[in-house]
Amino acid sequence: MPMRSAGFGRLAVLGLQHVIVMYTGCVTVPLVFGAAAGLDAATVAVLINADLLVAGIVTIIQGAGVGRILGVRMPVMAGAAFTAVTPMILIAGEYGLQAVYGSMLAAGVFGLLVAYPFAKAVRFFPPLVSGVVITVVGLALIGVGVNLVVGSDPKAPDHAAPSRLALAAFVVIVILLVARFGRGFLAQTGVLLGVLAGTAVAVPFGLVDVSTARAADWVGVSAPFHFGAPQFPAVAVLSMCVVMLVLFAESTADLLAVAELTGRKLTTADMARGLAADGLSGVLGGVMNAFLDTVFAQNVGLVTMTKVRSRHVATVAGCMLLVLGLVPKLGALVAGLPQPVVGAAGLVMFATVAAVGIGTLRTVDFDGTHNLLIVAVAIGAGMAPEVAPDLYSKLPEGVGIVLGSPVTSATLVAFGLNLAFNGRGPKLVRGAEPVDVPA
């Protein structure tokens, strides 16, 4: 549907639909990271607004494009990536928030530099590797969601209280009911409706904190380098650069899916421009206190459902995200949501990420190959530090940060074993020729 054939009102409605579908997932990342890093509600609100602002800018670039430099010019939405959460938490605990955003900034520059080479070498990240990594990302984050539900302080009076568990269960039930009985677009908003319903139930019990929202301004923008001058510990930078490569693999799969839906053949240059936008999110995120962005898979599903394939819809949706990022009061209101509600919604979403990874692995050929062994070892290596946090405590500090992240561990092992057992694999991209969409 070209823009000239649709009025602005229709574009606005279709764009709002995309925003609603991805909003909860986008703001869950700063909520989860903020809680794990021990940040107060006002600081989390800053992260939420920065998150939406950067996601809006990157989405606009993906839809509208910036010459022949940035943006794939397709109907894709960019949002904060779950993949980066665990490494960010580890870096924050070891080096502080200045190192988190310094390493993100460095990874963003790295992403801009390697976007084109990665587009040409995408065969090194086949579904075998990307499926393992996405599965581990989801599995590793489940613990974060559960901790939000039960509470982070075991000595607190309400730690794992039945009321917290009941509230979380209620949110999950609402999400399931919407999925079971909702139709069309309504069925896509289950997580959002679950959060709204859970918050409404929590209000009478005084579990919703609106004090920060009352004090927040209506219009504003977070100051660059809110936490101070960025720092660049080598180990943190390396870990974030690995995460950037993982995000590239995720975005590649989604960009190929959207290309297939829209009947477009992507060239190496097209793919590189789309991936470079992810890299730009790291630069912007490092400066503006936001997060690494990736193409949101749920919005790819929305394109499938609605059959609306105009990139202008995504551009309008990006403008909406940008505007939302300029409303601090909204960010503060979201930051005041009850942790059991956020944890329950996150639990469903993180488990969904793991399920998506498993779905990706279904496309892998396991007959007569060593692929099952590769998956087993990579997932085992990735989840080991998650279930035993002190696994690498006796090793040098840098090694602990890199291998202590389930994402980086799983990526390195899956990548290495796939290369050792399967070689380089089929070449998916040749020069400026179209990219073949894998079966």
pLDDT in tens, 94-149: 899 999 999 999 999 999 999 999 998 877 778 898 889 888 888 887 887 888 88
Strand partners, 27: none
What percent of the chain shows pLDDT beyond 70? Answer: 90
- Residue 390 located in a structural domain: yes
- Residue 211 located in a structural domain: yes
Average pLDDT over residues 389-407: 78
Is the sign of the CA dihedral 39, 406, 282, 352 positive or negative? negative
pLDDT score at 214 = 81
Going by C-alpha positions, the residue among 415, 346, 331 that lies closest to residue 54 is 331
d(CA 402, CA 381): 12
Question: How many domains does the chain contain in total?
Answer: 1
pLDDT category at 53 given cuts 50, 70, 90 is very high
Rounded to the nearest integer, the mean pLDDT of the chain is 84
Which residue range is the domain that position 392 belongs to?
9-422
pLDDT score at 431 = 39
Which is more confidently placed, 394 or 375?
Answer: 375
- Residue 339 located in a structural domain: yes
CB 62 within 8 Å of CB 76? yes
Q: Which residue has the tokens 């209280």?
A: 161
Contacts of 79 (CB under 8 A, 6+ apart): 22, 25, 26, 29, 55, 59, 293, 294, 296
Average pLDDT over residues 361-374: 92
- Residue 430 located in a structural domain: no
Condensed to tens digits (0 to 9), the pLDDT of residues 233-251 reads 998 999 899 889 888 987 8
Q: What is the pTM of this model?
A: 0.76
- Residue 378 located in a structural domain: yes
- Residue 247 located in a structural domain: yes
CB 44 within 8 Å of CB 335? yes
Using the predicted structure, report yes or no on whether residue 58 has a pLDDT greater than 90. Answer: yes
Condensed to tens digits (0 to 9), the pLDDT of residues 195-220 reads 889 989 988 877 777 777 787 788 88
pLDDT score at 301 = 59
- What the block records as the tokens of 125 is 């990240």
d(CA 255, CA 118): 14
- Residue 231 located in a structural domain: yes
- Residue 408 located in a structural domain: yes
